[in-house]
A and B are shown apart, each in its own frame.
Chain A
Amino acid sequence: MPGESGVCGPNCDQVSFSGRGYTPVLESPSPLEAELSEQIPSVPPGEAGESTDPGCCGATGSGRVISLCCMLAGECGIIRQNLASGADAAYLRALGLRVNQRVRLCRAAGSWIVEVGCQGGPACRIGLARDMAEQVRVEVTVPKTEPASGSAAGN
């Protein structure tokens, strides 16, 4: 289980607010993150080097931008895009699933449970059906290193 030194686990960067979005305190942003942050809030899928195909589930490592349902349980990331339609997108944002928000995938077993607010502060958990999880695109910042216990692809 992740989370020995922080909400996201031993490798999770602790962040603080800096007015707009979050700035990692312990780590510098990855080159891809820096590139993406200039394009926020609208990074068209496929323009940041990531695959828009849900088949990207096979990709590993940090910096990849994938849909939430392709993340592995225990992985942390930053929401980069919300592809849901109007009312659904607004609802997700109101729940806290908005661009630049830190998330940690807690469970991926047919339905997805994601912890929102992974900055060493208060967090809440949101359960999403697959249809909705597919609409949220996340840049993985802390990839899963151990064998996955709840692979999204497998469900």
Chain B
Amino acid sequence: MTVSSSPTPPPVPSTTPEASTASGPRRVVLLGNPNTGKTSLFNRLCGVRHKTSNFPGTTQEARVGPPRDLPPGSEMIDLPGIYSLELEQSEAEICRRVLAGELAPRGEDIREPDAVLVVADATNMPRSLMLVGEATRRGLPMVVAINQVDLSRRRGIHADERVLADRLGVEVIPCSARTGEGIDLLAPAIARARIPHESPPGSEEGLFDWADELYAEMAAGVEPIKPDTLTDRLDHAFTHPVLGLVTFVAVMTGLFWVIFKLAAYPMDWIDRIFGLLGSLLGAVLPAGPVHDLLVEGVVAGVGSTVIFLPQICVLFFLISILEDTGYLARAAFVMDKLLRPFGLTGHSFVPFLSSHACALPGIISARAVPDRRDRLATILAAPFMSCTARIPVYVLLTVLLFPGRPAMQAMAFTGCYVLGVVAGLVSAMIARRTILPGKSRPMVLELPAYRMPSVRNAVMTAWDRGVMFLKKAGTAILAICIVLWWLSAYPHSPPPQEAVDMRTQAAAIAQVDVAALEEAELDGEAAELVAGAAAAETRHGQRHSFLGRLGSTLEPVFKPLGYDRQLTIGVIASFAAREVFVSTMAVQVVGVDDAEDEGVRQAIATATRDDGVTRVFTPATSWSLLIYYVLAMQCLPTLAVTAKEAGSWKWAVLQLGWMCGVAYVAAGAVYQLLRLTGTT
């Protein structure tokens, strides 16, 4: 829109409605259509100082921040993007109630807003005017921000915003959240916000006529714009039945390659930092329960959570970039055709995509699925997607299955991802045909214009999601890690005879007292004996801990899957978080938890069961474990988020029962089949 190049002078209203309070705390709400750059504008006005909560009784995110250049104590609320205030949608209801002063984000007092900042899209004024018209009916002080003027100018879209300002008697500010143009004018305008002196007739038809007439007046005497043939060509490619899918696969492959490549460095740094922190704490604190709790429980627990943060941030950064370009809406549209036979729509695509990094943000992003049944089916199926926590398990098992054959390892690895997707889709289909019956709501989606993505916006999104991940997952995982540590560390048992003998032997070789072995400088055979004794003590402690006893008790349950006592302990220990399986097995077999060490991996590969003859990891048990870890629900934080997002713990219990049941049956079937065919 070529809105005038100079700032619009404040309008002279035909009546003189009072300006809203110019000083003191102010509540400003941001209202606009989706894809109008509303959130970018919020980011420009509030920066990273905002907080994310939700509207009480809903899963709808609410972002509240202190806007720059407004009096201290002012707050800006970013309302959900809506096409109309009158729609029967939860988002529209939230907006209606916030504007009426009946609802506020969690933690904020409930009161009427002091001003409404309506964000109109300069590239689509006719539709934006309908929302502007609906907002004027609320009788609240108002300012209209016409965003994306840079884009409209580039496309040759012309309209005169002074017409709108004159008609409504409110300030209309052309701006661009992308370039920063006009942003400085918004805060003063908000401070002078006025109640519009004109609003459209009450009927829907009246609103349409009012918006049409107003736009005709704004756009009078301007040249028609040139056709957008580039968009036509890109749409043709991106939504083509074959080319669209090929593009989709290429984009997704690139996305995950970048995630794993880029995130690997910060993950390594985080691992080192927490390792160093553990060592420092270990050296400073005296040995005892507090030492063990802090070093092995808290630091290790926090470290195991924070290590996934880079992947989450990179994923959401890239998703934001893709969304900004306009491609993601096309990808969802392409996926709609593939997901529909499974009772889902293209809206489920982003939650499934996010779940490949971590099921927590995946399930949270299912809020964007408009139909409740589709949303529940998406939430139930999302954890089947192979998250990054499964990767260490996949790596260990594929290496054990195909030692020295990287191509086969890669195929098995890919197969795990495919199996997860298929299991998720089939589960969603079963859910939609049984407990969530009914036809899917047909997909209707606005396809935003193609444009250059905003890095600033993507960084803000990544930051927002990262903080949310740490808050929601970090606390839960930390608590779980502490409980798991306690279960695996207690009760303390006396050292096994094997360890006592080794220490006695080492003391004899070093010619020191057994009690002085820890302080003595040992080398050669004595050092090896002491290390062996420590490993034997760890194994013994693990076996006689609460967790070890639980594993022994549950061993018969997992026997049909081919698991012995040690594997059962590994499965039980990783019930809360899958990645724990690898370190638990290392502790079980070798007595240390460094599964990255080649020697430790070799020891795991050749470890034997209690009979001393049969291998723990045979091809049959390895395949069985691989299938089990692809399909099983081994993540307590995911269950907590499912319960919250689905609105009831019954969905979380159903998810746990279904996934573990499917995993048990599939892993058991694979093991028995391989056993019968002699592959053991």
Q: Is A36 an interface residue when CB atoms closer than 8 A count as contact? A: no
- Among the listed B83, B333, B337, which residue makes an inter-chain contact with A94, where contact means beta carbons less than 8 Å apart? B83
- Among the listed B157, B240, B340, which residue makes an inter-chain contact with A129, where contact means beta carbons less than 8 Å apart? B340
CA distance A17 to B241 in the complex (A): 37
Which of B43-51, B71-79, B208-216, B612-620 lies at the binding interface? B208-216
Determine if A14 and B239 form an interchain contact, defined as CB atoms under 8 angstroms apart: no
Given the known interface contacts A111-B337, A129-B340, the answer about A6 and B224 at a Cβ–Cβ threshold of 8 Å is: yes
Determine if A6 and B227 form an interchain contact, defined as CB atoms under 8 angstroms apart: yes
Determine if A131 and B442 form an interchain contact, defined as CB atoms under 8 angstroms apart: yes
Given the known interface contacts A19-B209, A110-B241, A122-B157, the answer about A127 and B231 at a Cβ–Cβ threshold of 8 Å is: no
B336 surroundings in chain A (CB, below 8 A):
111, 129
Given the known interface contacts A122-B126, A132-B443, the answer about A90 and B87 at a Cβ–Cβ threshold of 8 Å is: yes
Given the known interface contacts A19-B209, A106-B235, A120-B225, the answer about A96 and B337 at a Cβ–Cβ threshold of 8 Å is: no
Given the known interface contacts A41-B205, A127-B329, the answer about A122 and B123 at a Cβ–Cβ threshold of 8 Å is: yes
Q: Is A153 an interface residue when CB atoms closer than 8 A count as contact? A: no
B337 surroundings in chain A (CB, below 8 A):
110-111
Q: Is B88 an interface residue when CB atoms closer than 8 A count as contact? A: yes
B123 surroundings in chain A (CB, below 8 A):
122, 124
CA distance A5 to B600 in the complex (A): 72
Residue-wise, chain A 79-102 has the 8 Å CB interface mask toward B (1 for contact) of 000000011101111111010000
A35 CB → nearest B CB, Å: 21
B323 CB → nearest A CB, Å: 15
B173 CB → nearest A CB, Å: 18
- Among the listed B125, B231, B330, B444, which residue makes an inter-chain contact with A128, where contact means beta carbons less than 8 Å apart? B444
Determine if B225 and A121 form an interchain contact, defined as CB atoms under 8 angstroms apart: yes
A74 CB → nearest B CB, Å: 9
CA distance A122 to B227 in the complex (A): 10
Instruction: Scan residues 415-472 of chain B and give those whose CB is less than 8 A from a CB of chain A.
Output: 441-447, 449
Determine if A122 and B124 form an interchain contact, defined as CB atoms under 8 angstroms apart: yes
Q: Is B650 an interface residue when CB atoms closer than 8 A count as contact? A: no
Determine if A109 and B240 form an interchain contact, defined as CB atoms under 8 angstroms apart: yes
Residue-wise, chain A 109-153 has the 8 Å CB interface mask toward B (1 for contact) of 111010001011111111111111000000000000000000000
Q: Is B29 an interface residue when CB atoms closer than 8 A count as contact? A: no
Given the known interface contacts A18-B216, A20-B209, A111-B336, the answer about A88 and B441 at a Cβ–Cβ threshold of 8 Å is: yes
Q: Is A24 an interface residue when CB atoms closer than 8 A count as contact? A: no
A115 CB → nearest B CB, Å: 8
Determine if A132 and B442 form an interchain contact, defined as CB atoms under 8 angstroms apart: yes
B446 CB → nearest A CB, Å: 6
CA distance A7 to B213 in the complex (A): 21
Determine if A113 and B235 form an interchain contact, defined as CB atoms under 8 angstroms apart: yes
Determine if B442 and A129 form an interchain contact, defined as CB atoms under 8 angstroms apart: yes
Residue-wise, chain A 15-52 has the 8 Å CB interface mask toward B (1 for contact) of 01111110000000000000000000100000000000
Determine if B127 and A109 form an interchain contact, defined as CB atoms under 8 angstroms apart: no
B144 CB → nearest A CB, Å: 16
Determine if A17 and B212 form an interchain contact, defined as CB atoms under 8 angstroms apart: yes
Chain B: number of interface residues, binned into ranges: 35 or more
- Among the listed A4, A19, A107, A117, which residue makes an inter-chain contact with B235, where contact means beta carbons less than 8 Å apart? A107
Q: Is B386 an interface residue when CB atoms closer than 8 A count as contact? A: no
CA distance A63 to B311 in the complex (A): 55
CA distance A111 to B240 in the complex (A): 10
B6 surroundings in chain A (CB, below 8 A):
none
- Among the listed B205, B228, B333, B446, which residue makes an inter-chain contact with A111, where contact means beta carbons less than 8 Å apart? B333
Determine if A122 and B125 form an interchain contact, defined as CB atoms under 8 angstroms apart: yes
Determine if B219 and A121 form an interchain contact, defined as CB atoms under 8 angstroms apart: yes
Determine if A94 and B130 form an interchain contact, defined as CB atoms under 8 angstroms apart: yes
Determine if A127 and B333 form an interchain contact, defined as CB atoms under 8 angstroms apart: yes
- Among the listed B157, B204, B444, which residue makes an inter-chain contact with A95, where contact means beta carbons less than 8 Å apart? B444
A129 surroundings in chain B (CB, below 8 A):
336, 340, 345, 442-444
- Among the listed A4, A14, A88, which residue makes an inter-chain contact with B224, where contact means beta carbons less than 8 Å apart? A14
CA distance A48 to B216 in the complex (A): 29
Q: Please name the residue on chain A nearest to B85 by beta carbon.
A: A94
CA distance A122 to B449 in the complex (A): 11
Q: Is B232 an interface residue when CB atoms closer than 8 A count as contact? A: yes
B236 surroundings in chain A (CB, below 8 A):
107
B86 surroundings in chain A (CB, below 8 A):
90, 94
Q: Please name the residue on chain B nearest to A133 by beta carbon.
A: B442
Q: Is B84 an interface residue when CB atoms closer than 8 A count as contact? A: yes
> Which one of A4, A90, A92 has the greatest number of beta carbons of chain B within 10 Å?
A90
B88 surroundings in chain A (CB, below 8 A):
86-87, 90
Q: Is B152 an interface residue when CB atoms closer than 8 A count as contact? A: yes
CA distance A113 to B87 in the complex (A): 23
B235 surroundings in chain A (CB, below 8 A):
106-107, 113, 125
Determine if A121 and B241 form an interchain contact, defined as CB atoms under 8 angstroms apart: no
Among all A-B residue pairs, the 7 with the closest Cβ atoms: A120-B224, A17-B216, A3-B227, A94-B83, A94-B84, A131-B442, A132-B442
Known: A95-B83, A106-B232, A113-B333. 7 other contacts (CB 8 A): A94-B84, A107-B235, A121-B157, A127-B329, A127-B333, A127-B445, A131-B442
Chain A contacts to B: CB under 8 angstroms: 1-4, 6-9, 14, 16-21, 41, 86-88, 90-96, 98, 106-107, 109-111, 113, 117, 119-132
> Could you give 27 example pairs across A and B, Cβ below 8 Å?
A2-B227, A3-B229, A4-B227, A7-B225, A7-B227, A8-B227, A14-B224, A19-B213, A20-B209, A87-B87, A88-B444, A90-B84, A90-B86, A107-B239, A111-B333, A111-B337, A111-B443, A113-B447, A122-B125, A123-B124, A124-B127, A124-B449, A125-B447, A125-B449, A129-B442, A132-B443, A132-B444
